[in-house]
Amino acid sequence: MTVLLFDDPAIRPNLLPFTFTRPVAALRCGILTLAEKWEHRLGQEAHYLTEPYLQAKFPAAPAEGPALVINGAVCADDLLARQVQALQPGEALFDGELLVAAHLADAGKVAELIQDGFQQVKQVAEPVTVITQPWHLFLRNGAEIRRDFALLTKGRESQPVNDPHTIVYAPENIFIEEGVKIRAAILNAEDGPIYLGKNSQVHEGAIIKGPLALCEGSHINSGAKMRGDNTVGPHCKVGGEVGNSILLGYSNKGHDGYLGNSVIGEWCNLGADTNTSNLKNNYAPVKIWSHAAGRFVNTGQQFCGLMMGDHSKCGINTMFNTGTVVGVAANIFGAGFPRNFIPSFSWGGPAGFETFRLPKVAEVNERVMARRGLPYDEVERGIMQHVYELTAKDRAWERTGPVADTNTTIEL
């Protein structure tokens, strides 16, 4: 049976800018992506039902045959997975009015069947965890690390630390995959588990407090201070001070500076001494830009830092104000605080912005991805082209006159 994770049309727009470049279920919260949480529990590969321009990179299900159709914004747990597997053809599972999953006889008629209703509707045994806003990713990250840790390590034996100069607290809450290298670090798992993925590295003087997920091939640099509830996605490098934040993958925050209550997309780079504010001076709830609403919305959270879409970069000493949202493929530099909403394909900073044109974006993306042995191919170019067109309305300066291309080089 096919497992199909669909983008809920009422949820996906609220998760921009991250869902400009991926389905909802490809977001990472905890150790795993939302899709991987389902794959591990259901024992098979999941497919995606997402926007047409993303479908080439994130393949859809076979065109026919029975399918379990699951809301891609829902985080799996063991009980929920059992309820989904127990669904009979024509049955659907809801949490209140939220469609969680359905068993359909024909995967090729998903849209029609969902719209027309189901033969029988059931309610979940317990309320589900749903990612409906960007800040939900870091808010629920600690709990999801604990849940994923239990899933991934059950019945398995951790590799040893094998470094006499590393100090370990609560070793029973630490799991080390093969190929991990640790040198003269402090690992404190008293308040939550620490998961070190395959071929990851913890460098000299790093201080790690759990919960923490360090995914495959990633590095925590010398002297880093990881304060808890952090996820470092695959093939990232992280330094400085980090608290309750997620790097989705292939991104670098290699130097000193503070990152708190933030989500950083893929292929991003934060220049040396970049700092994020995650608390307003008056301690008021933080408002952030909503692409769906077209305005700033109240998160209801006292702590909220930076939301940065894929392929965005910032120069050294960049200062991000509380609740800043940066779109896809933005390049930010200059002294002072830039605006709290930086549209996709922006080039500039506090002194003003112009458009980061697609040919220039392609040059940078080719170089950056080549360093990891990955191509910036026609599929990636097609996604960037589509997002560029989708986000033109956000770049207000394009409506006031022509924008010059730039060949300025900045230090990252």
Q: How many CB atoms lie within 10 A of CB 396?
A: 9
In the predicted model, is pLDDT for residue 139 greater than 70?
Answer: yes
Report d(CA 345, CA 357) in Å as an integer.
7
Cα–chain-centroid distance for residue 293?
21
The residues near 350 (Cβ < 8 Å, ≥ 6 apart) are: 334, 335, 336, 337, 338, 339
Residue 14 has pLDDT above 80, yes or no: yes
Distance (Å, rounded) from C-alpha 352 to C-alpha 404? 13
Percent of the chain with pLDDT over 70: 94
Residue 341 CB partners (closer than 8 Å, separation 6+): 289, 296, 324, 325, 394
H helix count then E strand count, the chain: 7, 37
Neighbours of 183 (CB within 10 A): 14
For the domain bounded by 135-344, which CATH number is listed? 2.160.10.10
Same fold for the domain at 2-131 and the one at 135-344? no
Q: Quick one: pLDDT at residue 399?
A: 80
Choose the CATH number for 2-131 among 3.90.550, 3.40.50, 1.10.10, 1.10.260. 3.90.550
State the residue for tokens 């779109």.
Answer: 327
Confidence band of 397 (pLDDT split at 50, 70, 90): very high
Residue 404: pLDDT band with limits 50, 70, 90: very low
**Which two tokens mark 187?**
């690992």
Per-residue pLDDT for 411 more than 60? no
Tokens of 240: 């400085």
pLDDT band at 64 (very low <50, low <70, confident <90, very high): confident
State yes or no: pLDDT of 63 exceeds 80: no
Domain ranges of the chain: 2-131, 135-344
Percent of the chain clearing pLDDT 90 (strictly above): 90
DSSP conformation class of 244: S
pLDDT of res. 410: 39
Which three-class secondary structure state does DSSP give residue 292? coil
The token pair that represents 152 in the structure block: 């991934």
Q: Using the predicted structure, report yes or no on whether residue 125 has a pLDDT greater than 60.
A: yes
pLDDT at 403: 42
- pLDDT over threshold 60, residue 391: yes
What are the tens digits of pLDDT across the range 269-302?
A: 999 999 999 999 999 999 999 999 999 999 999 9
Indicate the residue type of 149.
F
pLDDT at 110 > cutoff 60: yes
Spatial distance between the Cα atoms of 173 and 333, rounded to a whole number of angstroms: 41
Would the pLDDT of 412 be above 80? Answer: no
The yes-or-no verdict on residue 405 having pLDDT over 60 is: no
The contacts of residue 109 (CB under 8 Å, 6+ apart) are: none
Amino acid letter, 42: L
Q: Closest Cα partner for 338 from 316, 317, 320, 357?
A: 320
Band of pLDDT at residue 118, cut at 50, 70 and 90: confident
Neighbouring residues of 299: CB distance < 8 A, sequence distance ≥ 6: 133, 135, 285, 286, 287, 288, 323
Encode pLDDT of 305-342 as tens digits: 999 999 999 999 999 999 999 999 999 999 999 999 99
Task: Name the average pLDDT for the chain.
Answer: 94
Of residues 402 and 244, more confidence is placed in 244
Q: How confident is the model at residue 60 (pLDDT cuts 50, 70, 90)?
A: confident
**What are 235-275's pLDDT values in tens digits?**
999 999 999 999 999 999 999 999 999 999 999 999 999 99
Residue 406 scores a pLDDT above 80: no
> For 24-42, how does the pLDDT look when each residue is reduced to its tens digit (9 = 90+)?
999 999 999 999 999 999 9
333 close to 354: Cβ distance less than 8 angstroms: no
What is the average per-residue pLDDT within 345-351? 97
249 by DSSP, 3-state: which? strand
Q: By C-alpha distance, which of 130, 100, 115 is closest to 15? A: 130
pLDDT at 357 over 50: yes
The pTM of the full predicted model, rounded to 2 decimals, is: 0.94
pLDDT at 59: 85
pLDDT band for 407, please (50, 70, 90 cuts): very low
Residue with tokens 């939301």: 307
